[in-house]
Amino acid sequence: MKLAYYPGCVSKSTGKEMDASTRAVCGALGIELEELDDWNCCGATHVSNELVAAGLAARNMAQTDLPIMTACSICYSNLRAAAQRLEEHETLEKVNAVLDKKYSGARIRHALDVILEALAENDERIVVPLKELKVAPYYGCLLTRPAGLYSPEFPIILEKLIKRLQAEPVDFRLMTICCGGPIFMPQEKAAEDIAFKILSEAKRAGAEVIVTVCPLCHLMLDAKQQVLEQKHGVRIGIPVLYVTQLAGIALGLGPEELGLDMNSVSPMVVVERMYARLSE
Amino acid sequence: MAGDERFKQEVLRLAGAEVLTCIQCGTCSASCPTAFLMNPSIRRLIKFCLEGKKEEALHNETLWLCTSCLLCTVRCPRGIRPKAVVSALKDMAEREGLRSKDAAYEQFFLKQIKDYGRIAELALTAEFLLVFPQGAVQSMQMGLELLPKGKIDLKIEKIKGRDEVKRIVEELSK
C-alpha cells in the first residue's frame, strides 16, 4: 500500500520521535509513504478564520491523488474539517481561486487507523507481545472531532489497537478530554492544571503507560510531567508513548528507530520488561 | 438600546446562520474543559452575539481560554458550532487590532505561516516572549527539558510555495 504522508510542523522539532516512529512502523508493515511535496502548516488551532484554514489545508491536499496519512491529530482534524467545508461549492470556488494546484477532494487517514488496518489478530509480525502491560488510551480531542469515523466521545479504535498488540487498555475516564495544550503559550496555568488532572487520572486508573495520538497531548503529558510533579509534590512517573512508538515496540523495532530516547519520561524500563518476558 | 446589527450579521456570516437557533441550554458551557475559568461563559458569549453586544462579545478572556477541543460543537443539540463562534470573534478581535497577549500569539503564528509556510516553534516562542515575557519561566523549563533531547531545532524551514501561502492567508481573510 502506498500513502501520501503529511508530517506536520512538529515533526521537525518537539515531535521528532512521532515522525521517526511513524516512518519506522510503516516501513515494518510494508506501507510505502510518499512525503507530500512542499507541504505547509495546517494552521493548528491558531488560525481563527475558517476560510484561511480551509485554504491552507487545501493546498496540502491538492499536492497528491493518494490518500493522505498523518500521525498528528491536529493536522488530521484540520484536513478533515477543511475537506468537509470544501464540499460547499462556494467555499471550494473561493479557495481554488487562490491555489496553484486546484483541490478536488481527498481522503485523510490517521496513522492509528492505518496501523490497525495493517495488523491482523495475532499478526506474526508482533514479535514482542505487550502482554499484561496496562495502557491508558488517551485520545485527546481532535482525533475524533469534528465528528467523523469515530464516536466523538466514546471511540474504541485505540483500545482495539492496544489489544491487538496484546496489551491491556485501562478504564480511562478522561480519555477524550482536552490536554490544554492549544492554550499553553498564552494561558500557561490553565493548560497545566488540565494536563495535571489527566495525568492524575491515568495514575489512578493504574496505567503503566499512556498512549497518545497527538504531539501536543504528548508534549503536555510527557515533557511537562516532571514540572507538574514538582509543582504538585506528587510522583507520577508514567511514560507517554506515541501510538506509533507503542506499535513499534511490539513489532520489535529498536529504541533508536522509534526515538524512544527523545521521550522525557523514559519508557525503557517498560520496554526491557517486555523483552525480559520473551525469554521466560 | 438596539444592538449592533452589523456585528451580529458578521458573526452569523463567519460562524453560520444556525447560531440564530440557539436555545441557551448551556450544553456548550457544561462541556467546556476551561469553563471554570471563563467569565462570560460560552453560552453567554453566544447570547451577546445574538443581542449585538459587540463590546461584551469581543473584550473578554473567554475567547482566549478556548482550547478548540470541539466538545461543545459535537454536543450542541441545535447543531451550532460554538467553537466557530469563538473563532469568528477572535478573527474580528484580531482584525480590529485588539491588543492582548493572546491575540498577539495568534498574529505571530499567522505571520510565520505567511513568511515561511511552516511553524518554527523556537522562533515563535522567542518572538512571543520578547513582547510578553510573563510566560518566560514556563517556556524556559520546557526548553531545558526539550533541548538535550534534540527536539529544539534552530533551523527555520521555508517552503518553496511561500507566495501561494501568503496569497491564501491574505486573499481568503478578506
Does one domain contain both A105 and A225? no
The domain of A40 spans 2-111
Of A98, A178, A185, the CB nearest to B69: A178
Boundary (domain end) residue, out of A51, A81, A111:
A111
Specify whether the backbone of B156 is left (phi greater than 0), alpha (psi in -120 to 50) or beta.
Answer: beta
Same domain, A88 and A225: no
Whether A82 and A128 share a structural domain: no
Whether residue A166 lies inside any domain: the answer is yes
Per-residue pLDDT tens listing for chain B (174 residues): 578 999 999 999 999 999 999 999 999 999 999 999 999 999 999 999 999 999 999 999 999 999 999 999 999 999 999 999 999 999 999 888 777 888 888 888 999 999 999 998 888 888 888 777 877 877 888 888 888 888 887 788 899 999 999 999 999 998
All residues at 6 or more sequence positions from A176 whose CB lies less than 8 Å from its CB, including other chains: A139, A140, A141, A144, A152, A153, A154, A155, B71
Same domain, A46 and A154: no
Helix (H, G, I), strand (E, B) or coil at B163: helix
Higher pLDDT, B155 or A258: A258
Predicted structure pTM score: 0.95
- Strands A168-169 and A134-138 turn out to be parallel
Report the domain count for chain A.
2
Nearest residue, CB atoms, A152 vs list B33, B66, B74:
B74
CATH at residue A243: 3.40.50.11810
My answer on whether A95 and A203 are in the same domain is no
Same domain for A183 and A258, yes or no, is yes
Written as nine digits, the cell of A117 is: 488496518
Of A77, A111, A145, the one marking the end of a domain is A111
Q: Nearest 5 degrees, angle CA A167-CA A170-CA A171? A: 150
Does A189 reside within a domain? yes
The answer on pLDDT for A12 being more than 60 is yes
Comparing alpha-carbon positions, the chain A residue that sits nearest to B126 is A185
Smallest Cβ–Cβ distance between B106 and the set A46, A153, A226 belongs to A46
Residue finishing a domain among A83, A111, A139: A111
Residues of A in contact with B121 (CB under 8 A): 9-10, 13-14
**What CATH number corresponds to the domain at position A97?**
1.20.1050.140
A99 to chain B: which residues are within 8 Å by CB?
164, 168
**Residue A116 maps to a domain:** no
User: Could you tell me which residue, A136 or B124, shows the higher pLDDT?
Assistant: A136
Distance from CA of B164 to the nearest CA of A (A): 7
Any domain includes A274: yes
What is the per-residue burial (b if ≥16 Cβ within 10 Å, else e) of A153-188?
Answer: bebebbbebbebbbbbbbebebbbbbbbbbbbbbbb
Residues in A touching B65 (Cβ below 8 Å): 183, 187, 190
Q: How many CB atoms lie within 10 A of CB B36?
A: 11
In chain A, residues with a C-beta closer than 8 Å to the C-beta of B169 are 52, 55-56
Interchain CB distance below 8 Å, B69 and A10:
no
- What's the pLDDT score for residue B54? 96
Q: Which residues does chain A have within 8 Å of residue B37's beta carbon, measured at their own beta carbons?
A: 190
The confidence band for A218, taking pLDDT boundaries of 50, 70 and 90, is very high
Q: Does A279 touch chain B (CB under 8 A)?
A: no
A110 three-class SS: strand
Q: Is CATH 1.10.1060.10 what the domain over B5-95 is classified as, yes or no?
A: yes
Is residue A160 domain-shared with residue A231, that is, in the same domain?
A: yes
Which segments of chain B belong to CATH 1.10.1060.10?
A: 5-95
Amino acid at B11: V
The answer on A91 and A169 residing in a single domain is no
Same domain for A131 and A243? yes
Tell whether A211 and A162 lie within a shared domain: yes
Q: What is the per-residue pLDDT across A185-196, written as a single tens digit (0 to 9) for each?
A: 778 888 999 999
Residue A118, in any domain of the structure: no
Residues A138 and A87 grouped into a single domain: no
pLDDT tens-digit profile of A75-112?
A: 999 999 999 999 999 999 999 999 999 999 999 999 99
Cβ contact, residue pair A48, B94, below 8 Å: yes
Q: Is A100 exposed, middle or buried (0-12, 13-18, 19+ CB in 10 A)?
A: exposed
What is the sign, positive or negative, of the torsion defined by CA atoms of B28, B30, B33, B36? Answer: positive
Q: Looking at this predicted complex, what is its ipTM?
A: 0.92
Instruction: Pick the range with the lowest mean pLDDT from A161-175, A233-247, B69-83, B113-127.
Output: B113-127
B-chain residue closest to A143, CA distance: B69
Both A168 and A233 in one domain: the answer is: yes
| Shortest Cα–Cα distance, A267 to chain B (Å) | 14
What residues contact B160, with CB distance under 8 A and at least 6 apart? Answer: A38
CB B85 within 8 A of CB B126: no
User: What is the distance of C-alpha A23 from the center of its chain?
Assistant: 13
Pick among B10, B151, B165 to test the A interface (most A CBs inside 10 A):
B151
Residues of B with Cβ-Cβ distance to A59 under 8 angstroms: 161, 164-165, 168
Report the chain B residue with the minimal C-alpha distance to residue A216: B67
Contact B15, B48 (CB under 8 A): no
Q: Does A117 fall in a domain?
A: no
Q: Is A259 among the domain residues?
A: yes
Question: Best interface-test mutation with A: which of B18, B39, B68, B121 has the largest number of A CBs within 10 A?
Answer: B68
